Amino acid sequence: MALRALVGCKRVIDYAVRVRVKPDKTGVVTDGVKHSMNPFDEIAVEEAVRLKEKKVVSEIIAVSCGPAQCQETLRTAMAMGADKAIHVEIPSPQYETLQPIHIAKIMAKLATDQKADIVILGKQAIDDDCNQTAQMTAAFLDWPQGVFASKIDKEGDGLTVMREIDGGLETIKVKLPAVISADLRLNEPRYATLPNIMKAKKKPLDKKTPADLGVDLKPRIQVLSVEDPPVREAGAKVADVDELISRLKALGRI
Ligand code: AMP
């Protein structure tokens, strides 16, 4: 029996943008800044599409939680091959205090409602770098998890997942239903072609609110301050190792 896949598609500041901290240090500047699909979510969508091409997956449902512009991210996912999309509307300022625990509750509820057999998320969102949502979603659903996946194969009634771990690879078997998170080497996402972008405009996009899903968005942490990393000091050239050592000594570094 082919599987139903739910895929996370977070809209984030584009990876190529130089992120700027707001003067009041409450967060980063997002207005007028280019946004795109989280790169690990592109990999997640790509994997779902490849599993569909292999007839392992029958339907792909893309999910994005956030402001209205998330619908553009969902159209991209559908242009890549997702069949339909769900936009969970979370406007600012609520979106600013949203955390992985809230997304995980939303994903778990949608996975149940949509009768998903597999949830594929990115290993981390490049804006918050949390790397928590997939693990928490698995916990809420009480499903097995295969996170940091660099290869996925259907085997019998489960999946074989090769995982990227410190200093090597680990291969595990998970029973379905399961939650997977996509690591960098899982695949290379395709570009959406113009005809597919046009087709994606006609694919169904459903809208929901966290209240529809019974999820309370009360923040669990408070951001006290967001700071720029320290500015890197200019380097200096030394003639030889002796000079290097004496300079380091003079600086009190050794
Ligand atoms: P994180 O735990 O925040 O690093 O996010 C890990 C993954 O969870 C992302 O790569 C997405 O697949 C998913 N995710 C997180 N936030 C959202 C969101 N607002 N909408 C859709 N998916 C999300």
Alpha-carbon distances, residue 118 vs 217, 233, 237 (angstroms): 24, 47, 54
Closest CA to 38 of 134, 146, 124, 138: 124
Q: What is the mean pLDDT of the chain?
A: 96
136 ligand 1 Cβ < 6 A = no
Q: Tell me if 234 is assigned to some domain.
A: no
Q: Tell me if 250 is assigned to some domain.
A: no
Tally the domains of the chain.
1
Give the pLDDT confidence score for residue 227 in this predicted structure.
93
103 ligand 1 Cβ < 6 A = yes
Give the distance (Å) from ligand 1 centre to CA of residue 191.
Answer: 21
Instruction: Please give the number of the atom of ligand 1 that sits closest to the Cα of 7.
Output: 12
Cα 33 to the center of its chain, rounded Å: 19
Q: Tell me if 110 is assigned to some domain.
A: yes
pLDDT digits (tens, 9 = 90+) for 198-213: 999 999 999 999 999 9
Return the best residue to mutate from 11, 41, 70, 105 for the ligand 1 pocket (most ligand atoms within 8 A of CB).
41
Q: Tell me if 176 is assigned to some domain.
A: yes
For residue 126, the domain's CATH number is: 3.40.50.620
Residues of the chain above pLDDT 90, percent: 90
Q: Where does residue 168 rank: exposed (0-12), middle (13-18), buried (19+ CB within 10 A)?
A: exposed
8 ligand 1 Cβ < 6 A = yes
More confident residue, 232 or 187: 187
Nearest-5° angle of CA 194, CA 16, CA 77? 35
Give the pLDDT confidence score for residue 126 in this predicted structure.
97
**Quick check: 1 pLDDT over 80?**
no
Confidence of residue 163 (pLDDT cuts 50, 70, 90): very high
Q: Tell me if 46 is assigned to some domain.
A: yes
Q: Tell me if 201 is assigned to some domain.
A: yes
Query: Looking up tokens 């290993």, which residue turns up?
Result: 123
Q: Tell me if 241 is assigned to some domain.
A: no
Give the distance (Å) from ligand 1 centre to CA of residue 153.
Answer: 23
**Quick check: 88 pLDDT over 90?**
yes
**Quick check: 253 pLDDT over 90?**
no
Can you tell me the mean pLDDT for 145-163? 96
**Quick check: 24 pLDDT over 90?**
yes
Q: Which domain holds residue 121?
A: 3-223
Peptide bond into 93 cis (omega under 30): yes
10 ligand 1 Cβ < 6 A = yes
Give the pLDDT confidence score for residue 155 in this predicted structure.
93
Give the pLDDT confidence score for residue 182 in this predicted structure.
98
Q: Where does residue 71 rank: exposed (0-12), middle (13-18), buried (19+ CB within 10 A)?
A: middle
Q: Tell me if 243 is assigned to some domain.
A: no
121 ligand 1 Cβ < 6 A = yes
